[in-house]
Amino acid sequence: MNDDTSLIAGVLGAMGLLVAQRVVGGYRWIGTPPPWAEAFGCTVDQPCDLAGSFAFMGLFLHDAEVFWAQAEGEATISSAPWSEPDQDGVEHQLEAVAMRLPRAGGQADGDGAEVIAVAGAGADVAQTQSILQAARERRLAVDRELAVRRQVEQQLRLRVEQRTVELARTNEQLRALAAQVGLAEQRERHRLALGLHDHVGQLLAAAKMQAGAERAAAGDPAARERLTGLLDLMNQAIDATRTLTFELSPPMLYELGLVATLASLMEQIAGQHPGMKCTFRDDQSPKSVAQDVEVVLFQIARELINNVLKHAQATRMVVETQTQDGALVMSVTDDGAGFDDGVLQEPVVGAGGFGLYSVRERLDHLGGRLEVQTRPGAGTTVRVIAPAV
């Protein structure tokens, strides 16, 4: 042991550290092991067995040798904190240090060097620990906050999804209800129309016949004059009854179907609006549509036609029925003012769109479709595609 080594060993021993020196085949004590080390079985009268006394030391010294074998130049020290219980189970916070010192006058070159191992009790790791721990605690807090935020977001997303589903269901129910109300209304109109036509209409026809017979038989010109006036009134009543019947629910829709009824409606309209060129076209294809659907389609056609008459400022109107891809397609085209089709996305009442939103809703419910082509100033085509049967 050279002077440097014994000096350092002496200082370390005086500091209450456990010091050992490498010899051939192992280590030997330098000085007297401190009292804390006795609890690990380290006493002067026992052979120095660092690896046996401390679970950590065998590995540590081995690692130090590996480290020195790889290290370049003057790398001479290796240290590591650890903690371990003594033979009584009492825990000690320790630090291991291995130093390689050059022999007197020599180099620290592997086997030529002297190695001493030191184990210290109560090594102060508090400083390092508090820095590391502060960093980690902070990191944990941030992670926790992020996790909570993620959870809240997830819950919110779920809630929104739920509400969306509920809303869609409510909408569907409302639509179904509207469709039912619509059908009930149609049936009621049909009933009234039948009553008007079959009952009131028949009575008026009979009354007219009688009045006509009276007039033929009357000799008095003044009486004839009065009966002619009466017949005129009765004809007006019969016309009014017919128009009303048709408006309520054309019986021919039930008897002859949609196409014939639309044709007849267009004829009527042409008669009532001489300024408008009205055309009806049908492709003559057989059309199989359920009666309830036909009724809804007729109702829609009437609304579309009324829109044109009231709002479009048009001079021409074409109504067309045809079969496309197996589905009945009904279109209403005009050369009028057109509108901005953005309004179709919302249930707007009033300017533009004119109830097309509700038409679309009704069709949706039936499984049909509504297509609108329009631009301000460029006319409008509305195509109603009935659900394929």
Nearer to another protein, 139 or 169 (CB): 139
Residue 68 within binding range of another protein, rule CB under 8 A: no
How crowded is residue 64: how many other Cβ atoms within 10 Å of its Cβ?
22
For residue 30, the minimal CB distance to another protein (Å) is: 24
Residues 307-342 as b or e (16 or more Cβ within 10 Å = b): bbbebbebeebbbbbebeeebbbbbbbbbbbbbebe
Judged by CB under 8 A, the stretch of 18-26, 51-59, 183-191, 292-300 that binds another protein is: 51-59
Nearer to another protein, 7 or 146 (CB): 146
Judged by CB under 8 A, the stretch of 23-31, 129-137, 228-236, 319-327 that binds another protein is: 129-137
Among candidate residues 289, 292, 295, 316, the one with its CA nearest the CA of residue 305: 316
For residue 82, the minimal CB distance to another protein (Å) is: 5
Judged by CB under 8 A, the stretch of 122-130, 232-240, 309-317, 358-366 that binds another protein is: 122-130
Structure tokens at 64: 């130090």
x/- map, 71-90, another protein, by CB under 8 A? ---------xxxxxx-----
Structure tokens at 243: 């128009």
Nearer to another protein, 138 or 187 (CB): 138
For residue 34, the minimal CB distance to another protein (Å) is: 20
For residue 347, the minimal CB distance to another protein (Å) is: 42
Residue 59 within binding range of another protein, rule CB under 8 A: yes
Element (H, E) at 371: strand 369-374
How crowded is residue 386: how many other Cβ atoms within 10 Å of its Cβ?
25
Q: Please list every residue from 130 through 159 that binds another protein, using CB under 8 A.
A: 132-133, 135-137, 139-140, 143, 147, 151
Nearer to another protein, 81 or 355 (CB): 81
For residue 364, the minimal CB distance to another protein (Å) is: 38
Structure tokens at 97: 């240090």
Residues 200-226 as b or e (16 or more Cβ within 10 Å = b): ebeebeeebeebeeebeeeeeeeeeee
Nearer to another protein, 137 or 267 (CB): 137
Residue 128 within binding range of another protein, rule CB under 8 A: yes
Helices assigned H by DSSP within the chain: 3-14, 35-38, 50-53, 55-70, 126-195, 201-217, 221-248, 251-255, 258-272, 291-311, 356-366
Residue 205 within binding range of another protein, rule CB under 8 A: no
For residue 355, the minimal CB distance to another protein (Å) is: 50
For residue 156, the minimal CB distance to another protein (Å) is: 17
Nearer to another protein, 142 or 203 (CB): 142
- Please name the residues in contact with 313: beta carbons below 8 A apart, sequence gap of 6 or more: 336, 337
Residue 349 within binding range of another protein, rule CB under 8 A: no
How crowded is residue 387: how many other Cβ atoms within 10 Å of its Cβ?
15
For residue 293, the minimal CB distance to another protein (Å) is: 49
- Which of 63, 65, 214, 361 is in the footprint of another protein by CB under 8 A? 63
- Which of 121, 125, 276, 366 is in the footprint of another protein by CB under 8 A? 125
How crowded is residue 196: how many other Cβ atoms within 10 Å of its Cβ?
20
- Please name the residues in contact with 3: beta carbons below 8 A apart, sequence gap of 6 or more: 104
The answer to whether 238 and 204 have CB atoms below 8 angstroms apart is yes
Residues binding another protein: number (CB under 8 A): 25
Alpha-carbon span 130 to 306, nearest angstrom: 83
Nearer to another protein, 42 or 269 (CB): 42
Contacts with another protein, residue ranges (CB under 8 A) = 55-56, 59, 62-63, 66, 80-85, 125, 128-129, 132-133, 135-137, 139-140, 143, 147, 151
